[in-house]
Structures are given as C-alpha cells and as structure tokens.
Chains A and B, each alone.
Chain A
Amino acid sequence: MAYVVERKPLSLSERLYIPQVLAGMKTTLKHFFAPNVTMEYPEQRPAIPPGYRGVPTLVKDPHGREKCVSCQLCEFVCPPKAIRITPGEIPADAANAHVEKGPKAFDIDMLRCIYCGLCQEVCPEEAIWLQNQYSMSGYTREEMVNNKERLYELGGTLPDQHFKWDKKKAAEQRGNAHH
C-alpha cells in the first residue's frame, strides 16, 4: 500500500541556516585540531565489529566434516545469482555416507556478490558464513570466483552447537532393536 510521507515545513532555525552552518564549522574545526591518524593499510587493518558481513565462506564443523549438503537454498535466494552449486551424492562406502549429499562443486562469483548475507540466513546447515574477510582482489575474472576449496580455506572451522550428523550416525549405529 502506498504510504504518504508528510513533508513538514522548515522551522525558523532551519530557515535561517546559520545554526546548521555553525554546526558544520564545528565539525570541521574539530578535525583541524585533532591529531592526524593514517592507518597503514594493508599492513594495519581496522578492527572488524562483530556481525560484520564480509566475504561468504564455507565452514567445517569441529570434526572436520563439511557441513554443506548442497540443498541449493543459498543459490536460490542469492539476489545477484552469484552462487552456483553442482549437487552430488556421497558414495555409499564413504565415511560420511549417512549425510547422503554434498556439493560436487560450489562457486561464488565475488564480482557478483553483494554481501547481503541472505545465503547465511537461509542455510539450514549453518554451512555458509559471511566472515571478517572483506578485501578480495584479482587480476582476472576467474580469480574472483571462489571455488569450493578456496571457500573452505577462507571459512575454516566454526564451533557447532548441534552436531546433527553425529547424532544421526549414532542413531544409525545404535540401530533398531527389532531388526
């Protein structure tokens, strides 16, 4: 529904402009007398506030298992279509066969990524996280596409609250008393 924003008329002090000009001068003058600080980037790096949305990365759980099950929800939700997943089946003889599915390929095109964080938001496995890394550079377009290995290298390991797949494996090994 259309929402009409009412435009209020300017007050007297606003119409005079002088208080606003003075406030601006105050800010300028403050910088005149403040000590000069130059951060020697990239040797020095600014402190990143918690919750910062940097480069999207893939993470493993503390047991070293890759968490992504290639459900493709991040690919679906990604507004600039930066994510491309090729799903694949985990072979029945693999150690993590109980997970059944994992990404065969996982690419994030950082030339497209807008750091919106929807992929992290939507991930049912908490496998994709936007972390502190914010500076991506490369000489070619290909270099700017993070493949699966690079994404895991960037992401590393994060603490896990659930260990969902460990629980599943334990249940499987415990089996069913009647069978």
Chain B
Amino acid sequence: MSSVPAKPADLVTVNIDGKDIAVPKGTNVIEAAKLLGIEIPHYCYHPKLSVVGNCRMCLIEMGLPAVDPATKAPIMDPASGKQKVNWMPRAQIGCATNAMPGLHIRTNSPMVKECREGVTEFLLINHPLDCPICDQAGECKLQEHSTAYGRGYSRFVENKNVKPKRTQLGPRVTLDDERCILCSRCIRFSKEVAKDDVLGFIDRGSYSTLTCYPGKKLENNYSLNTVDICPVGALTSTDFRFKMRVWFLKETPSIDTESSVGANTVVWSREGVIYRITPRQNDAVNDTWMTDSGRLLYKQVRSEDRLLVAAINGGTSAYDMAMKAASDLLRASLSAGASGEVRIVGSGRSSVEEQFLTKKLAAALKAPVALVSRVGKGDGILLSADRNPNVRGALVTGLISALPSQQLTSLAADIDAGKVKTVVAINEDLAAADLTAAQLAKVSVIYLGTHKNATSAAAKVVLPTLTVFEKSGTFVNQQFRLQKFTKAVPGPEGLADDLVTLANLAASAGAGALPSDLTGLWSTLAAEAPVLAGLSYAKLPATGAVLDSAAWAGLPFVEGETLHFKPAAVPAAANA
C-alpha cells in the first residue's frame, strides 16, 4: 500500500503513457498514475481498503521490458534503439498491478478505451438512470465515468432487472439494490475497518444482491462510511436522503468534537443550515472515516434546547445587559477583598483560544480553575475514551496542570464551606458534575453555554455561546496534534463570538484589553505558551501540526488505543 513509508532506495521507475515516474516499489498503478495527473477510472478500488479487482473498470495495458530468456540480456528494438517492451496481449486490472522495475502501462490505447466502454455498458445494463432522484448525483462515479469513458448509448433491449428499491440495511443506511454495481467496497469496509462483518453478496449473476448476514444489521457506529465510499447511489444515508443536492452545499473543514480523536470532518451547509457532516481525509488521524455519532452532531445547532437569548435571574435580557450583570458580579467578588471567592469551571470542549482567554480571566480573578472529565468507552477505532475534544488544549495553554476529574468535589466542598460566592461555568453542566441544586443556589452562577441544562436554569447570568459549527478555532487531539476548525454557519442572531464574551469578561475582571480575534490571540498565544511558539491559526496546515508533548508524557491519560494512536503509557482505568 502507498501509505507505507518507503526509503528512497525502494523507488522504482515505471512508465505510464510514455512518461517515466519513480514511485516506491509496490505502489498501486492507479496511485502512480494519479501522481502523473492521469486518471485510471475505478469503482471497487479504494486506497484504504484491500484490493479485490471486481469492477474491471481500471483495465490497462501492461508490458515489461523484453529480455532474452536464455541470456537475460535486454532485447533492443532496432527502430528506436531502446529496450523492446513485451506488451501483454490482453488488458490487465490496474488496481491489482503494483509498480515494479521497468513496468510499462498504457491507459489511453484503443484497447483500453474499448474495455472501458464495454465495462460501462455492462454496468448500465441494469443500473437505472434515475439521476434526477438519486442522492449520489453530483458525487456519482458512475455518472462521471459513463460520460467520460462510456459509449454514450446502450444496445440492451431486454427487460431490465427489477430489484428492491428501499431496503433498510440498518438504522441509518438505505440500500437501493438496482443501483448497486457489486463493487464490494462496503463489504470490505465493514470487515476490515469497522471490524463488524455484517455485509455480503448472495445469489449469482444479475440476481446478485448485497445483504446483511441473517439476523444481523448494518448498525455499527461506522455504517455511514459505507455510504461515503459507495461509488454509485446504492447506499444512501437515511438522514440525508432526499434532503438536498450536494452541489448546493458549501464545504467547511471542521473537527469532530465527540472525543479526543479529533477526526477531520467536512460540514456541508447551505444558507446557514447544516445538512450533513462527512469525514475529511487525514491519514495521520482518521484516514477517510468517521463515526456515525459524530455526523449527527450538527443537529445540536437547531435543537429545541438551544440557548438563544441571554438571561439575568431567569428573565431574558439583551446580550449587553447580561454582560454587564456578569461583569458586576465579578467586580463585586473582586472588591470584596478576599481572593478565591470566584471559581471557574472551564471546559475540555472549548477551543484552545477560548481556554487561553479562560486562563486570563482566572488569572485576573485569582480564581482556581477546574475542568470536568467526561469518560466513555473507547471503541478502538475513532472514538476514544476521553469524550472531551480538547483536554490537551487546556494543558498546552496552561489552564490546568493536572488531568481533570469527573466530579467537582473540591468545588462542592468549598461551596459547602461558604468560601465561594461566584462560579463561572463555561459550557459545563455543574449539576451533571455532581453539584446539588442546593449548592448551586448558594452561589451566583455565571453560565456560558450553548444549550439549556440544570446549570443554566439555576444561573444568575446566562450568556449564550456558539457551537463548534458557528465559530473558528483549534483543538489539540489525543496525539497532541493541533487541528483547526472553521466557521460553517453564522451563529444565532444577537450572539457574540465566545472569544468576544470571554475577552470582555476578562477585561471587566481587570485583565486589561485582550484580543478577541484569532489573529491577535495567536500572536499572544505563541508568545506565552512555549509549545505553540511559531504557530498561528492562519498558517496551520489542514492536517494539523503535532506539538511537543514531552512536558505531559507522564500524565495518566484515559485514552486507549485508536486507529492511528497508541497511548504512551497504560491508560488509567478511569481518573474518577
């Protein structure tokens, strides 16, 4: 596979359509041609899956330099003065052909063209051309390849096969059997990546059908990846089905926030409405996959319990008024003299920039900061045990120095002892972290968050914030990889960016004027956090940058092994 790093010594030269290219030995011919900008059309081949060679679309002509069988001496062509090439008389499949020294490939010869036309004609025998309905329109390889490599007309006069149209393979995936071209990508994905061998073909010939094993369903948390890799419109997402044409949608690079894996995603939106989330390729983090659960996160943007207006003492208010009330509360705590009357509960779900401003706020208030750890069960693929996307960001920015625990025990004790007057909770439900209603009632809570919960109900001041889809920033994932996400849709009317809210709060607490934009913040961040030196949001590559994690190597992180991550130490059972 091409992902295996090769030493320069392993490079072999292959000749594709008359052009020489040096590639690592064993590189797939389709990949080698791609490096030259030559497309070898294919359906069943996928760079992250095993090769089966059953679609026959990638047929190429192949030849090797001629040598004398007896003497092994090269046979020269007297006309050109070069070594003669022995072309194989029939076409070969590109996906199962690996680069070897002297390999010659033709991708545009008359024989190859005829092969492609034939394969396309065969595929279209039973494939309905219901492109106006099919959700794959705009992303359909069959549509593209039929136009580019097809004959343009069909000689098929018999009745077309009629197969079931709306088979539910699982809770999230719908199969249209008529459109399936039996490439087996979904089968191989389930078996090889999701490790849940549920799919298979039954019957033969034109009756061959994709189905689940008896008594099983395609319901693992990676089932929607089969939809992504289906080259035709056979597998569709039940959620996205018939909702919107992909060519209307704007693609925004983002990060999956459901765990510390930090899978790279694309958020697809139109006119401020998000329609779907799909994975974005990052070979160091998530390859081309992501979880089904992460794809549903966009629903939180327009959920019923979203906080849309600021509130003071339970009554709605203008954002500015709530900001002023929050500032007054903080100033009152400061002027009371005794330090330590304010506690801050930060969040492992905030971005690096927000955590940095939280740290500034805490420093100005001389307030201790706690984070809440959220631990689930890791699945060993792309969902890690740590369900906070950015605990390492809090370590990197210096917001915290030890790993957070799941309960706010010390905060609860301090409230009971009457040492705390005000608690600033940033997107964290204190009640869920084991604070009782009585404890919440004893203190003034300033709540910054996106959704309603017990804490927002009990809070003196509620300042609504934005979801990850409505703002830009960075997260640090389990590999200490700094990755950026970008604003996909505008936030609800009247809400300020989280950075502005935090910078205002910090300013009112006496931290001085702080930048509330990413450019300004990053110049400060790079200066103050040693491991972030030299980095900036603007210059961060799409695949992220790995930070020096030596300072935190000894911490007992909870993550177990995932797709591209091996924990340095044995994970703590749970740091409760």
Contacts and interface: CB of A to CB of B under 8 A. Distances in A.
Contacts of A75: 248
A171 B159 contact: yes
B525 to A, nearest CB: 41
A72 B207 contact: no
Given A76-B245, A101-B133, A175 B165 contact: no
Interface in B186-207: 207
Contact of B132 (A92, A125, A171, A172): A125
A71 interface: yes
How many B residues are at the interface, by size bracket?
Answer: 20 to 34
A173 B31 CA distance: 45
Given A73-B132, A176-B161, A89 B247 contact: no
A100 B132 CA distance: 11
With most chain B CB atoms within 10 A of its CB, the pick from A100, A171, A172 is A100
A89 B240 CA distance: 11
A98 B166 CA distance: 10
Contact of A175 (B130, B131, B162, B248): B162
Nearest to B166: A92
Contacts of B248: 72, 75-76
Nearest to A72: B245
A1 B289 CA distance: 45
B149 to A, nearest CB: 22
B242 A101 contact: yes
A179 B203 CA distance: 11
A108 interface: no
A71 B133 CA distance: 6
A124 B242 contact: no
A17 to B, nearest CB: 55
Contacts of A72: 244-245, 248
Nearest to A178: B207
Contacts of B133: 69, 71, 99-101
Contacts of A178: 207
A57 B239 CA distance: 31
B243 A87 contact: yes
Given A178-B207, A179-B207, A71 B166 contact: no
Contact of A71 (B137, B162, B207): B137
A99 B160 CA distance: 17
Given A69-B133, A71-B132, A124-B132, A176 B242 contact: no
B247 A76 contact: yes
A24 interface: no
A79 interface: no
Query: What is the predominant secondary structure among interface residues of chain B facing chain A?
Result: loop
Interface in A36-71: 69-71
A14 to B, nearest CB: 51
B406 to A, nearest CB: 42
Nearest to B244: A87
Nearest to A89: B242
B452 interface: no
B169 to A, nearest CB: 16
Interface in B132-181: 132-133, 137, 159-163, 165-166
Interface in A92-135: 92, 98-101, 124-125
A15 interface: no
B235 to A, nearest CB: 15
Contacts of A101: 132-133, 242
B443 to A, nearest CB: 48
A75 B165 CA distance: 26
A124 B241 contact: no
A80 interface: no
B245 A88 contact: no
B180 to A, nearest CB: 14
A69 B133 CA distance: 6
A101 B132 CA distance: 9
Interface string B236-264: 00000111110110000000000000000
A88 B244 CA distance: 9
Interface in A158-179: 168, 171-172, 174-176, 178-179
A124 B247 CA distance: 17
With most chain B CB atoms within 10 A of its CB, the pick from A92, A99, A124 is A124
A72 B166 CA distance: 22
Contacts of B247: 76
Contacts of A175: 162
Contacts of A69: 132-133
A44 to B, nearest CB: 41
A100 B134 CA distance: 9
Nearest to A99: B133
A9 B132 CA distance: 54
Nearest to A92: B166
Contact of B162 (A70, A92, A171): A171
Contacts of A172: 162
Nearest to A179: B207
B244 A174 contact: no
B158 to A, nearest CB: 11
A87 B242 contact: yes
Contacts of B244: 72, 87
Given A87-B242, A89-B242, A171-B160, A176 B207 contact: yes
A179 B166 CA distance: 16
Contacts of B130: 100
B539 to A, nearest CB: 36
A98 B162 contact: no
A26 to B, nearest CB: 55
Nearest to B128: A168
A98 to B, nearest CB: 7
Nearest to B132: A71
A154 B166 CA distance: 34
25 contacts: A69-B132, A69-B133, A71-B131, A71-B132, A72-B245, A72-B248, A73-B132, A75-B248, A76-B247, A76-B248, A88-B242, A89-B241, A98-B165, A100-B130, A100-B133, A100-B165, A100-B166, A101-B132, A101-B242, A125-B132, A171-B162, A174-B162, A176-B162, A176-B163, A179-B207
Q: Which 7 A-B pairs give the minimum distances between C-beta atoms?
A: A71-B132, A101-B133, A89-B242, A72-B245, A124-B132, A69-B132, A87-B242
Given A101-B132, A124-B132, 5 more contacts: A71-B133, A71-B137, A76-B248, A87-B243, A171-B160
